[in-house]
Amino acid sequence: GEEARDDEAHFQVSIQIIHPSKPPLHNCGGTLISKNKVLTAAHCVRSYEDDPKDFLKSYVVHVGIRKLSKPNYRAIQISNVSIHPDYQSDPVDFADVAVITLERDVPEDSHISYGVLQTRELLVGEEVTIYGWGWTQENESGHNVDALQKANLTVQKHSPLKNLIFY
């Protein structure tokens, strides 16, 4: 991948863990899909089901963010998390999806926009672009990046997930 341009992916958010004595820590990415909804992976927010009150105190969504090290973004508290009812953490499958509801609305501006959800099935061989701040190599042997990255991928035929690696 490569660093995303400043005019790309204004829908990308960083879901961060709040530490009392340290700066917030990036946990996962997500897509702002409306003024108060974020689409993310269920495995990123699964601890919500264990203790919702603790989760809501410990996590925040950062919008308008490009570099994790630069505080030029807005932090929005989370009011609710809805995890797909068929989600299973082992093995992870198609239902690894969740929607976060934000405590307040996020208006669109020059640094924030709402992502457009795919309304048709992607075709095998079609090229897609992914965005995030994840690891730069498999098995976390690379490093977690500071600047938002993008990579082009080719859609593959669906097969059962084995040896899945999260970035």
Per-residue pLDDT of the chain (167 residues; tens, 9 = 90+): 899 999 999 999 999 999 888 888 899 999 999 999 999 999 999 888 889 898 999 999 999 999 998 866 789 999 999 999 998 877 666 789 999 999 999 999 999 999 998 888 888 899 999 999 987 666 555 567 899 999 999 998 866 544 444 43
131 backbone φψ class: left, alpha, beta (φ>0; ψ -120 to 50):
beta
Smallest CA-to-CA distance from 12 within 104, 109, 148 is with: 148
Listed in sequence order, the residues at least 6 apart from 52 whose beta carbon sits closer than 8 Å to its beta carbon are: 81
Which pTM does this prediction carry? 0.87
